[in-house]
């Protein structure tokens, strides 16, 4: 019987070691979203958001893995515990916060309209009147369209932005509406630089467009949220965030404080 405390102590240490090495699974959309994330020919993920994930995991001293799934399946998959945190350029909005929790933000960029180069620039309801706007499903831009553009323009929805870009380049739609950085990457690509241009950023609406991009969590995972927030803050404070960002952008994408 005198051996029992020693045995229990040894078991507790073993469990502690296992917990420290537990895998934290990051849910990522299963399509390329450059420069934030993309999968190369060998199946390896890379991009700004992946580099940031690796830095955050190192700060947490956790082993991390990526689980990829369709954009509109990310929140249901999180809730069913297929992974632990959504890390996929998801904006923290009031509507989503009814269902899941969020970490502190790790970047924030405006929403933008792009269209053919010969089209008059502008990003208001009057500017898009009678036109067709391509929008990825289940995005903040889709909700913004319903409030501000629905009475003026038609919406065509897509599972991926790449599909919308193809229709824009071929003239089947008049605009694509999405995050400015993702759209800017298309405008710099071979498929976009000749056909299309930025029409303008839409007026901000924080209730719809959110308070910035954050990691999505189950509401009960408060310990993981605290660890992620501490790691995000540390990466920003120690210079890693800026070093990662400079590899992909020539400006600060964190946004207003």
41-70 pLDDT, tens per residue? 999 999 999 999 999 999 999 999 999 999
What is d(CA 131, CA 154) in angstroms, rounded to the nearest whole number? Answer: 6
pLDDT at res. 255: 84
For position 12, what pLDDT does the model report? 44
Alpha helices in the chain (DSSP H): 4-20, 48-60, 74-79, 94-97, 140-148, 161-169, 180-187, 206-209, 222-237, 240-246
- Per the listing, tokens 């605290």 go with 226
CB neighbours of residue 180 within 10 Å: 17
Q: What is the CA radius of gyration of the chain?
A: 21
Residue with structure tokens 């078991």? Answer: 11
Q: With the CA atoms of 86, 87, 93 and 95 taken in that order, what torsion angle do they form, in degrees rounded to the nearest 10?
A: -20
**Residue 195 token pair:** 């056909």
Cβ proximity of 200 and 113 under 8 Å: yes
pLDDT value at residue 2: 40
Residues of the chain with pLDDT under 50: 1-21
pTM of the model: 0.76
> Which pLDDT score, from 0 to 100, does residue 13 have?
41
Provide the total of helices (H) and of strands (E) in the chain, helices listed first. 10, 12
What pLDDT sits at residue 240? Answer: 98
Residue 238 DSSP label: T
Provide the 3-class DSSP secondary structure of residue 199: strand
């Amino acid at each position: 019987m005198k051996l029992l405390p020693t045995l229990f102590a040894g078991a507790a240490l073993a469990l502690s070691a296992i917990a420290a090495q537990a895998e934290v699974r990051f849910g990522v959309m299963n399509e390329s979203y450059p420069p934030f994330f993309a999968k190369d020919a060998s199946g390896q993920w890379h991009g700004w958001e992946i580099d940031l994930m690796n830095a955050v995991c190192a700060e947490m001293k956790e082993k991390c893995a990526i689980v990829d799934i369709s954009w509109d399946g990310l929140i249901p998959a999180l809730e069913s515990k297929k992974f632990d945190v959504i890390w996929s350029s998801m904006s923290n909005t009031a509507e989503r916060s009814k269902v899941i929790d969020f970490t502190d933000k790790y970047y924030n960029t405006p929403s933008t309209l792009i269209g053919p180069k010969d089209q008059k620039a502008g990003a208001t309801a009057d500017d898009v009147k009678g036109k067709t706007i391509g929008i990825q499903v289940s995005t903040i831009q889709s909700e913004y369209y319903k409030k501000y553009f629905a009475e003026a323009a038609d919406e065509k929805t897509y599972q991926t932005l790449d599909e919308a870009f193809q229709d824009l380049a071929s003239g089947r739609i008049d605009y694509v509406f999405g995050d400015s950085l993702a759209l800017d990457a298309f405008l710099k690509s071979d498929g976009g630089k000749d056909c299309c241009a930025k029409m303008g950023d839409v007026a901000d609406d924080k209730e719809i467009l959110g308070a910035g991009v954050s990691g999505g969590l189950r509401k009960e995972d408060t310990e993981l949220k605290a660890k992620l927030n501490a790691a995000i803050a540390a990466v920003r404070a120690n210079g890693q965030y800026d070093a990662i960002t400079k590899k992909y952008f020539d400006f600060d994408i964190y946004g207003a404080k």
